[in-house]
Amino acid sequence: MDLANIEQFVADLDRNVQKQNARMRLYEHGGDKDLSCMTGTREGYLRFGIELMKTGLATPAETKFVEADIDYLFDDGSTISFTTFERVETIEELDQDNYEKTWGDRIVIYTIISILIALPILAIIGLITVIRLLL
């Protein structure tokens, strides 16, 4: 199947699967992103797939980001949302260097460094105290 046929197929699906009853809910259960759940109507799953296929077929502008029309799918009970759709030609193009460290990331690093510095100092103080008690 060539790209033109795929685009026609997706356009046909887009025309024939109604948005009317298309609803999805994405949420975490158990308080962990590893325990995420996706619930949806039949039309919701079909429309979600169609919108993702349209995103895959879209031509990115100067950036690698493409627009996806999925906001109408998700209800107010969704705790997970998709805000960015980036299309790349190979997975190696994913730029992990764009990750911006937050203050929470910095606190974790400084806490670990502080603990690693404090442990040997406390061990030496404890050893000196024990030696003084024994003498």
Confidence at residue 6, expressed as pLDDT on a 0 to 100 scale: 92
Measured distance CA(69)–CA(55) in Å, rounded: 9
pTM of the model: 0.59
133 in the Ramachandran plot: left (φ > 0), alpha (ψ -120 to 50) or beta?
alpha
The helix/strand/coil state of 73 is: coil
Burial 83-106 (b: 16+ CB within 10 A, else e): eebeeeeeeeeeeeeeeeeeeeee
DSSP bridge pairs for 40: 24
Confidence at residue 100, expressed as pLDDT on a 0 to 100 scale: 66
Instruction: Summarize pLDDT for 73-132 with one digit per residue, the tens.
Output: 888 888 777 777 877 777 665 555 555 677 777 888 899 999 999 999 999 999 999 999
60 contact partners, CB below 8 Å, separation of at least 6: 66, 87
The residue count for the chain = 135
Measured distance CA(57)–CA(67) in Å, rounded: 11
